[in-house]
A and B are shown apart, each in its own frame.
Chain A
Amino acid sequence: MAGEVLVKVEGVSKKFCRDLKTSLWYGVKDLTSELLGGRHDQANLRPKEFWAVNGINFELRRGECLGLIGRNGAGKSTMLKMLNGLIKPDTGKITIEGRVGALIELGSGFNPILTGRENIYNNGSVLGIPKKEIDQVIDEIIEFSEIEKFIDTPVAYYSSGMKVRLGFSVAVHMKPDVLILDEVLAVGDSGFKIKSFNKINEMMKNAAVIFVSHSMPNVAIISNKILLMEYGKMEHYGEDVSSGIDKYFEHFGGNDPKLEFNEFAQVEEVEVVPSQKYASLGGIPAIDYQDDLNVRIRVKVDRNIDWFHVKVQITDKDLKIVGIYDSFQFQEAIQNDQDIHDLQAVIPNCIFINGEYSVSIFIQQRDMVLKKWNLLGLYRYWTKFRVKASSTLGYVPAVVYLPGEVSKS
Chain B
Amino acid sequence: MQQRVYTPHSNIRKPWLMIREMIVDIRRGNDLAKRLTIRDIKALYRQSFLGILWAFILPLANTLVWVFLNNSGIVAMGETDIPYPIYVFSGTMIWAIFMESMQAPIEKTTQNKSILAKVNFPREALVVAGIYQGLFNAGVKLIILVIALAIMGYFGGWSLLLFPLGIVSLVLGGTAIGLLLTPLGMLYTDISKAIPLVMQFLMYTTPVVYAVPKEGFSSQIVRHNPITPLIMTARDWLTGVEPEFLNGYLWMNLVIIIMLIIVFVAYRLAMPILIERMNA
Is B28's CB under 8 angstroms from A42's CB?
no
CA distance A105 to B272 in the complex (A): 18
Give the 8 A-B CB pairs with smallest separation, nearest first: A108-B118, A27-B277, A126-B121, A94-B6, A37-B12, A125-B32, A23-B280, A87-B276
Q: Is the CB of A31 closer than 8 A to any CB of chain B?
A: yes
Chain A residues within 8 Å of B, Cβ to Cβ: 16-17, 20, 23-24, 26-28, 30-31, 33-39, 42, 81-82, 84-100, 102, 104-105, 108-109, 111, 113-114, 121-122, 125-128, 130-131, 177
A300 shortest CB reach to chain B, Å: 55
Is B119's CB under 8 angstroms from A109's CB?
yes
A17: B residues at CB distance < 8 A: 280
1/0 per position for B29-42, CB-CB distance to A under 8 A? 00110010001001
Ordered by A's residue number, 26 sampled pairs between the chains whose C-beta atoms are within 8 Å are A16-B276, A23-B277, A26-B277, A30-B273, A31-B187, A35-B12, A35-B269, A39-B8, A81-B275, A82-B6, A84-B120, A85-B120, A85-B272, A87-B273, A88-B8, A89-B8, A91-B8, A92-B8, A94-B5, A95-B3, A95-B5, A96-B3, A96-B5, A97-B2, A122-B39, A125-B35
Secondary structure at the A interface, as helix, strand, loop or mixed, is: mixed
Residue of B nearest to A10 (CB): B7
CA distance A126 to B36 in the complex (A): 10
17 extra A-B contacts, CB within 8 A, seeds A98-B3, A102-B119, A104-B119: A24-B277, A27-B274, A28-B187, A39-B8, A42-B8, A85-B6, A85-B272, A88-B8, A90-B8, A93-B6, A98-B1, A100-B120, A105-B118, A108-B118, A125-B32, A126-B32, A128-B122
- Which residue of B39, B121, B269 is within 8 Å of A113 (Cβ)? B39
Is A20's CB under 8 angstroms from B272's CB?
no
CA distance A128 to B32 in the complex (A): 9
- Knowing A37-B12, A125-B32, A125-B35, the reply to whether A109 touches B118 (Cβ < 8 A) is yes
B280: A residues at CB distance < 8 A: 16-17, 20, 23-24
Is B42's CB under 8 angstroms from A95's CB?
no
- Knowing A97-B3, A114-B39, A122-B35, the reply to whether A27 touches B187 (Cβ < 8 A) is yes
Chain B residues within 8 Å of A, Cβ to Cβ: 1-10, 12-13, 28, 31-32, 35, 39, 42-43, 46, 114-122, 183-184, 187-188, 266, 269-270, 272-277, 280
Is B42's CB under 8 angstroms from A113's CB?
yes
A177: B residues at CB distance < 8 A: 1
Is A85's CB under 8 angstroms from B4's CB?
yes
CA distance A42 to B8 in the complex (A): 8
Is B35's CB under 8 angstroms from A99's CB?
no
CA distance A31 to B181 in the complex (A): 12
CA distance A384 to B30 in the complex (A): 61
- Knowing A27-B187, A28-B187, A34-B10, the reply to whether A86 touches B117 (Cβ < 8 A) is yes
A182 shortest CB reach to chain B, Å: 9
A130: B residues at CB distance < 8 A: 31
A62 shortest CB reach to chain B, Å: 11
A127 shortest CB reach to chain B, Å: 7
- Knowing A35-B269, A94-B5, A113-B46, the reply to whether A127 touches B10 (Cβ < 8 A) is no
Is A108's CB under 8 angstroms from B115's CB?
yes
A218 shortest CB reach to chain B, Å: 21
Residue of A nearest to B272 (CB): A88
B118: A residues at CB distance < 8 A: 86, 104-105, 108-109
Q: Which of A17, A39, A121 has the most CB of B within 10 A?
A: A39
Residue of A nearest to B262 (CB): A35
Q: Which of A34, A37, A97, A113 has the most CB of B within 10 A?
A: A34
CA distance A121 to B188 in the complex (A): 34
Is B266's CB under 8 angstroms from A35's CB?
yes
Is B272's CB under 8 angstroms from A87's CB?
yes
A91: B residues at CB distance < 8 A: 8
